[in-house]
Amino acid sequence: MGEWWRGAVVYQIYPRSFQDDSGDGIGDLAGITRRMAHVADLGCDAIWLSPIFTSPMADMGYDVSDYTNIDPLFGTLADFDALVARAHGLGLKVIIDQVLSHTSDRHPWFAESRQNRANPKADWYVWADPQPDGTPPNNWPSVFGGPAWEWDTRRRQYYLHNFLTSQPDLNFHCPAVQDALLDTMRFWLDRGVDGFRLDTVNYYFHDARLRPNPPFPQPDGRPAVNPYEMQEHLFSKTQPENIPFLKRMRALTDRYGARAMVGEVGESQRSLAVMEEYTRGTDRLHMAYSFDMLGPQFTPAHFRKQIEGFFAGAPDGWPWWSFSNHDVTRHASRWAGHGPDTDAVARLAIAMLVGFQGTIGLYQGEELGQTETDLTYEEITDPPGLKFWPENKGRDGCRTPMVWERGAPNGGFSAAKPWLPVKPPQLARAVDAQRAAPGSVLAAYRAALAFRRAEPALREGATRFLDLPAPVLAFRRVWDGRAVTCVYNLSPQSVTLRLGGPATPVGPAEGCTRAGDRLTLAPCGYGFFASPEGAPPALAPA
């Protein structure tokens, strides 16, 4: 099990919204532990916990004020230990979020750093003098709006913040910062975690010369909703010094045996290249993911480009593919126009994911076909939504609570008013309403994940794409003399293909019918076919 992560299925839990057992309307570790069997029964191999550390929660835990303790909202270290023990007892690995690029401005490190320019932690954060006219050191913007620089009156300098002003960036050019962060990782490894999800892994280092970023022309010639997208971020992130630090992290985790790291590549302009670079070889990250499959694109050419392109650039690297997470619109809603209804899109999506070469990530609720929650401005809490409303409504629509019981208050999530509302469209998709329904999205997820677990070609096989016209996506996964052909109709119209050569139906299928040498796929239909590795591809245009 040294490489348990390779081809694994990882279920992301957003702790605030999974299960509230303390009765304050916010999910907690005890609630996660109580509901853990749901994840194991689904057929997953691991869980990823979004941040649970001490935090003022300006960015819902992605602003850490103590890297080695649990925020009281979620429980205690003893609660965390109980969660890990329960997960391991169910055969699940535990990955925790590590937010290393920045801290909260409430972190003791920052409190000391900002006192003056001569204290022991004076260079632990990115400080810079103003330009002669008092303006910021350069043109770098914040992802959350406005300049990436905030004036501090005590030091009479600016500090860098790639996100909120209350999230100052650590200075990774300082060796003591690297050592301190590795110590925090060691703390959790000693506590039994199986790996880390590394937030904004390409943001660690900045250009030490603070050179300004050049402009990035917009495709339509209009300003972007978020001005951050109007720069090519050559100097504010993704610096070459990142690689040696990734190697230090890998050396640390390797000392603990079967551990794994997955990096979130926050890069919209050259994400595939960064994923390849960060996972190449055996001394960097185990896995990386970007936002390329978390956007609106839903074409065979797009998915082929991501998978084929990654393995062409890093044949010894390893990707992580997801369609949803806590930062993006839920894919059942995002891709709704590509099927007869959102449930059909959700069933197609999991059939696609289980066929993809790589590790796959699921986001809580997607196994229910959960849709984006429509929130009013008064209901949202997310900083980007508050800043860029209404063109960007923020991320709260995908973060509303899990729904466990359709007839219970707040879907069984909490006896108190939840921190985000549970609305009727989401309540209708409760776990108990789908558990015994054979045609439910939950049933489709269980069947697809069981198929992937039972089929070595889907976990370990190489990918060979078939040249079929859109809207058909098709490829073969080949392993140990066996080929499994995966075929999907990415549209709301039926398509017909010609089936030739040996092809035995295997695994789950939907809207996939065969008549002689003709194979018809209904809207969002899919199927899997097994054949000997040396046999010719079984599919061709009709």
> Catalytic site residues?
199, 267
443: buried, middle or exposed (CB in 10 Å: 19+, 13-18, 0-12)? middle
CA–CA gap between residue 489 and residue 212 (Å, rounded) = 45
| Alpha-carbon torsion angle 477, 478, 482, 487, nearest 10 | 20
Identify which of 380, 389, 398 has the alpha carbon closest to the alpha carbon of residue 322.
398
> Are 337 and 363 spatial neighbours (Cβ–Cβ below 8 Å)?
no
Alpha-carbon torsion 152, 380, 14, 238, what sign? negative
CA distance 145 to 57: 18
Q: Are strands 93-98 and 195-198 parallel, antiparallel or unpaired?
A: parallel
User: At residue 319, what are phi and psi to the nearest 5 degrees?
Assistant: -100, 165
Q: How far is CA 409 from CA 74, 372, 419, in A?
A: 21, 20, 14
Helix (H, G, I), strand (E, B) or coil at 94: strand
Specify whether the CB–CB gap between 319 and 286 falls below 8 A. Answer: no
Sheet holding 287-289, edge to edge: 287-289, 260-264, 195-198, 93-98, 46-49, 9-13, 359-363, 320-322
Q: How far apart are CA 360 and CA 459, in angstroms?
A: 10
Alpha-carbon 407 to chain mean position: 31
Q: DSSP per residue over 74-86, as a string? A: T--HHHHHHHHHH
Work out the angle between the directed axes of helices 77-89 and 29-42 (0-180°, nearest 10). Answer: 10
